[in-house]
Amino acid sequence: MTDDDTHDDDAPGRGASATASATASAIWGGRFSAGPSAIMEDINVSIDFDRRLYREDIAGSRAHCKMLAATGVIAAADRDAILAGLDQVEGEIAAGTFAFSRAAEDIHMNVESRLAEIVGEPAGRLHTARSRNDQVATDLRLWVRAALDDLDTGLQGLQRVLIDRAEEHAASVMPGFTHLQAAQPVTLGHHLMAYVEMVGRDRGRIADCRARLNESPLGAAALAGTSFPIDRHMTAAELGFDGPMANSLDAVSDRDFALEYLSLAAILAVHLSRLAEEIVIWSSDAFGFLRLSDSFSTGSSIMPQKRNPDAAELVRAKAGRVIGDLNGLLVALKGLPLAYGKDMQEDKEPVFDATDTLALCVAATAGMIADADFRTGAMKAAAGRGFTTATDLADWLVRVLGMPFRRAHHVTGALVGLADAAGVGLEDLTLDQMQGVEPAITADVFGVLGVDNSVASRTSFGGTAPDAVRAAIAAARRRYLD
């Protein structure tokens, strides 16, 4: 994006067929007598990617045009001609018939050049009291705002899938892990609801980011504002902003809204990657907890038996790409003095890339979870291995016998060692064997042993008891889906 503040604000645009030299004169005014070298043009041009801002650019131009007429800066006849011309330009771009010109550098000048071909002299009045610096800052804020709304919609859809599958499996027992070692029994519904809450916080960050970015830079001009009697509140309202940004330098020079967007995108990508990693592990032969549908699996070119969880692996890998988008923009902006620097042209590609990447990852994750065949028998069998009810036993010793927890921990450890040596589970020890370690143990202890008893006992708020999970699901539907 060529956001240069040295051009003549009233200079008319040129057609798409203009030479580099002529375009240089049209865009930059009379300061330059020759066009850029081919290398300079290649490094400078941004139309190859910033054309994605065309709707936002035209919306900003419409708002600016209406305001200029309302404040008497341009005539009503010029306003009407410009607005009609912008409608035609937008229609051509949407229809795919618009001839984008690399010689015109960016989306701003491509639109203005074509507008000049359509309406003539009035097009040259559109850029009065604005710069490409405030223009691009406005465009990108509008684009990110729409991207946030789209992302939030996608995440709500993912939450719906997770909640539906969690409700289906509110009582399906599986091992809960720490250090990827079986720790305590939980339910699959409880496990899936953990991701519902993570995504809920991601959506909260989206809302926060949207609220902070929703101020209009338009009218800040190059960096210092303008001497024309413009109405920045009018253009802000026209574009759906809460109001204009308070400082013209800040308006054109900061991209913290883009950084915040990429930050929340990176956190979301990490959440998706963690779920994808579990899908990869659970679908392995060693675990056998789920089977992905054919829609989200691939085969091998040499091993006919293979079912590879490639969709999950790619979601996992793409987190690194989104994190890289954030890092790239952080580095690009870290040393910039106020106000605008051409470095800021590098703000758009990471934003676009992260947006495209996340949209695909969210859709793929929702699809995988919706179609997954959870093997609940294998999950329950695994939940019973590794003495996962040991904590239940220790808690019983504290609750029923009044034993200090550290003493209960020691007794339970001794019982685990006894069961391990015998090759049985804790629930398979006899009462005599248990009383050989701790004489005060009674037969009531067997009521807390076994994975079903274990999960049923975890009734605290946020716990894994099936009734608690169902209550959490009902609350999540109200919070996130209604």
Q: Give the residue numbers marked as catalytic.
A: 179, 300
- Angle (CA) 13 19 22, round 5°: 55
Provide the terminal-to-terminal Cα distance of the chain, rounded to the nearest Å: 41
Whole-angstrom Cα distance, residue 64 to residue 58?
Answer: 10
Q: Can you spell out the DSSP letters for 429-459?
A: S-HHHHHHH-TT--GGGGGT-SHHHHHHH--
Instruction: Find how far residue 368's CA is from the centre of its chain.
Output: 18
| CB atoms closer than 10 angstroms to residue 194 | 17
Instruction: Return the closest-CA partner of residue 206 out of 262, 152, 137.
Output: 152
Asked if residues 419 and 428 have their Cβ atoms less than 8 Å apart, the reply is yes
Burial 431-456 (b: 16+ CB within 10 A, else e): eeebeebbeebeeebbebbbbeebbb
Determine the Cα–Cα distance for residues 381 and 41; give it in Å rounded to an integer: 65
**How far apart are alpha carbons 14 and 25 in whole angstroms?**
10
Return d(Cα 252, Cα 255) in angstroms, integer.
8
Secondary structure E strands in 212-360: 290-291
Residues shown for the chain: 482
| Strand ranges, E, within 307-436 | 373-374
Distance CA 35, CA 43 (A): 14
**How far is residue 6's CA from residue 223's CA, in Å, rounded to a whole number?**
11
Distance (Å) of CA 324 to CA 263, 277, 321: 11, 19, 5
Residue type, 159: Q
Q: Which residues is 182 bridged to in the sheet? A: 177
Kindly give the pairing relationship between strand 373-374 and strand 290-291.
antiparallel
393 closest CA partner among 412, 417, 407, 413: 412
Place of tokens 């519904």: 189
DSSP label of 37: P
Buried b (16+ CB within 10 A) or exposed e, 313-352: eebbebbebbbebbebbeebbeeeeebbeeebbbbbbbbb
Token duo for residue 359: 């949209």
Residues 6+ apart with CB under 8 A from 139: 53, 56, 57, 60, 107
